[in-house]
Amino acid sequence: MATQHSSGDLLADRRYRYAEACLEEGDHEAAADLAEQVLEIAPRYAPAWLLLGRAREGLAVTRGDPALQDAAVRAYACALDIDPDDTLGVRAQLSRLGVGDGLPALSPAYVRALFDGYAPRFERHLVEGLAYIGPGLVNDALPRVPERFAAALDLGCGTGLMGAAIRDRVGHLAGVDLSPGMLALARAKTWQGRPLYDRLAEGELGAFLAEEPHASADLCLAADVLIYVADLGSVLAGIGHVLRPGGLAAFTVQSHDGSGAVLGADGRYAHADGHIAEAAATTGLEVLTQRSADVRREAGLPVPGRVVVLRRTAA
């Protein structure tokens, strides 16, 4: 039986690797031809359908042929039919082409698989390669009063970069993440001779927040996490549920000058200022701070973003 890592046939796997190399080099015609050869041998190998879709997209651009883009959509649909949980991120490709099935473009299964594979090199790549400074920006944006927070939630905690940045200001620190691989690294971290986190949970943000006790946290943090969420309303509603009146939420987002949320070519969402303000207002949160910040670099260029601090209103 084919897996995401192997088609189950050595010849098909070898041709798939050649197809990947051709796609990387920009030879879309050869990549499409090799992907089709793979699928003749292993027709239920979802990664080959995804690769074929990407190759056909490239050919559609170079040849100016709309029929090839339609063919790319059909290839993506085949991949999604084989992998309905979408661990490969096919919905993001379809969303970019204006085709969707009403489900989130970035599925929890895709984000989990992405970060499980990324976990061993996550911190080095993020901090050294992308000049990532999100946790420091979030910590610096928080008001100095109160000096300490009794209970904090680190949403999408990853390997613990945000937790390490905030630990000396927090009494009880809990973290949640979709990725078991990330959580294993966070669990291994210590602070002053004890575990960095008092509690770690594996799960999706919305479900986790819904199950937390009402008004049980003084602080919610999300550094470089909400870029994988299209509609901030549901997450901010969950944050409003867990925060005590007067409690704070601080997070980073990528930004754009339009409206709503836009899925970029980097596979991350950028949120408009108006979307943030509207989502906060409808969930019992008020904006204390919303400042421009470059949270990291991509291809040597700064990625425009925002650092946001919200407060739970008494109501």
Residue 207's pLDDT band, with cuts at 50, 70 and 90, is: very high
Which residue shows structure tokens 């990528």? 254
pLDDT of residue 144: 87
pLDDT tens digits along 119-146: 666 667 566 555 567 898 999 999 988 8
pLDDT tens digits along 49-86: 999 999 999 999 999 999 999 999 999 999 999 999 89
pLDDT tens digits along 213-266: 999 999 999 998 999 998 999 999 999 999 999 999 999 999 999 999 988 878
pLDDT tens digits along 274-306: 999 999 999 999 999 999 988 777 777 888 999
SS3 198: coil
